[in-house]
Chains A and B, each alone.
Chain A
């Protein structure tokens, strides 16, 4: 894999033509390379929409809270489901505990540290599921009940300052 400044795996022998300008044949070769990778290993059709969804709620300057850890438990059918996850931003840690309620529903118990009365928004990518909103208590705790499983994202807004956004995650 690549190394910064790496001259190591290029021998120093000049390849004939490397100093010439790019011509039609070069452009054709590059176009074919792009086409082939698109064909053999290109993004799925949904990829653009998925990424647009992920950035849609983030206000300019919103800070990314990275997934730090997740705890899985065995669920029905041998699959694993997430029981707890933590996200970390420089200003805030987000801890979510997930309780399976059956019937495609879960309860999310959240804890934000340091605690404060943040606005909490839970976004769902399901067209039929409205965003859920609540406010954390002084200790940073909140509950969002009867959430439908799917692709979700949490956005935290303090009363002043930058908001914090998690990546999307599948529950």
Chain B
């Protein structure tokens, strides 16, 4: 897409503001740019809500189609990001509930989907292995928050924490409880040496 918005020199927030304005003006292709910018975030939101791999496409796609329906109501890039996070969460919840009622025996697959120990074998960097192991000592809510916050740009940390309903343990402008806890565990671990 021809664009004045060069990903190398602008922040995500600036790019999203530009795409949003053009999409709302009806420019074909501008919505695609929003999708490509925030799609990985929505993937991780869905996965952090326990959505099995087979259902992630449905969850995220419904979110994007809901956005198309409601695009006119979105006022800013921050509002866009937090609206997408909240909507993905709601769609995930809807899909999980639907699956539980139609396939009550399907729970084993979900657990198998998520084994962090198995994943450790895939991680080659030693510090990453320490981080991964330590990360999984945190509460489920802290893991959810940090996984999703890690996917967004710094100015959006706060709105995303709020969108997840977790202002209390949240991040930005201060470190927040979840990140402080993880950091303290890491710093106390002799295998984790700050670079």
Binding site for B on A (CB under 8 A): 1-7, 9-10, 14-22, 25-43, 47-48, 50-52, 54-56, 58-64, 66-67, 165, 167-168
B177 and A15 contacting across the interface, CB-CB below 8 Å: yes
A33 and B36 contacting across the interface, CB-CB below 8 Å: no
Query: B40 near A: Cβ within 8 Å?
Result: yes
Q: When A38-B40, A55-B31 are in contact, do A22 and B166 touch as well, CB less than 8 Å?
A: no
Query: B62 near A: Cβ within 8 Å?
Result: yes
B168 and A33 contacting across the interface, CB-CB below 8 Å: no
A51 and B180 contacting across the interface, CB-CB below 8 Å: no
Q: When A15-B181, A26-B175 are in contact, do A48 and B35 touch as well, CB less than 8 Å?
A: yes
Q: Looking across the interface, which residue of chain B has its beta carbon closest to that of A12?
A: B168
The complex places the Cα of A60 from the Cα of B49 at a distance, in Å, of 28
The complex places the Cα of A60 from the Cα of B66 at a distance, in Å, of 10
Query: B43 near A: Cβ within 8 Å?
Result: yes
Cβ–Cβ < 8 Å partners of B26 in chain A: 60
Contact with A along B109-122 (1 / 0, CB 8 A): 00000000001001
The complex places the Cα of A26 from the Cα of B183 at a distance, in Å, of 7
In the A-B complex, the 4 residue pairs with the smallest Cβ-Cβ separation, listed nearest first, are: A34-B150, A18-B180, A33-B150, A43-B43
The complex places the Cα of A63 from the Cα of B122 at a distance, in Å, of 42
A19 and B128 contacting across the interface, CB-CB below 8 Å: no
**Closest-CB distance, A159 to chain B (whole angstroms):** 20
Interface of B is mostly: helix
Q: Looking across the interface, which residue of chain B has its beta carbon closest to that of A27?
A: B154
Cβ–Cβ < 8 Å partners of B157 in chain A: 22
Query: B151 near A: Cβ within 8 Å?
Result: yes
Cβ–Cβ < 8 Å partners of A31 in chain B: 150
Q: Looking across the interface, which residue of chain B has its beta carbon closest to that of A17?
A: B180
Interface residues of B in 69-87 (CB under 8 A from A): 69, 71-72
Binding site for A on B (CB under 8 A): 23-24, 26, 31-32, 35-36, 39-40, 43-44, 47, 49-50, 56-58, 60-62, 64-69, 71-72, 89, 119, 122-123, 127-128, 131-132, 135, 139-141, 144, 146-147, 149-151, 154, 157, 164-166, 168-169, 171-177, 179-184, 186, 194-195
Cβ–Cβ < 8 Å partners of B32 in chain A: 52, 55-56
Cβ–Cβ < 8 Å partners of B67 in chain A: 55
The complex places the Cα of A134 from the Cα of B100 at a distance, in Å, of 37
Listed A/B pairs (5) with beta-carbon separation below 8 Å = A29-B186, A32-B127, A33-B150, A34-B150, A36-B132
A21 and B61 contacting across the interface, CB-CB below 8 Å: no
B72 and A60 contacting across the interface, CB-CB below 8 Å: yes
Cβ–Cβ < 8 Å partners of A42 in chain B: 40, 43
Contact of B40 among A5, A29, A43 (CB under 8 A): A43
The complex places the Cα of A5 from the Cα of B151 at a distance, in Å, of 22
A9 and B139 contacting across the interface, CB-CB below 8 Å: yes
B175 and A33 contacting across the interface, CB-CB below 8 Å: no
Besides A40-B122, A52-B36, 13 more A-B contacts (Cβ < 8 Å) are: A2-B141, A15-B177, A30-B150, A37-B151, A42-B40, A43-B40, A47-B40, A51-B39, A55-B32, A55-B64, A56-B32, A60-B72, A64-B69
**Closest-CB distance, B123 to chain A (whole angstroms):** 7
A64 and B175 contacting across the interface, CB-CB below 8 Å: no
B184 and A15 contacting across the interface, CB-CB below 8 Å: yes
B36 and A48 contacting across the interface, CB-CB below 8 Å: yes
The complex places the Cα of A100 from the Cα of B122 at a distance, in Å, of 42
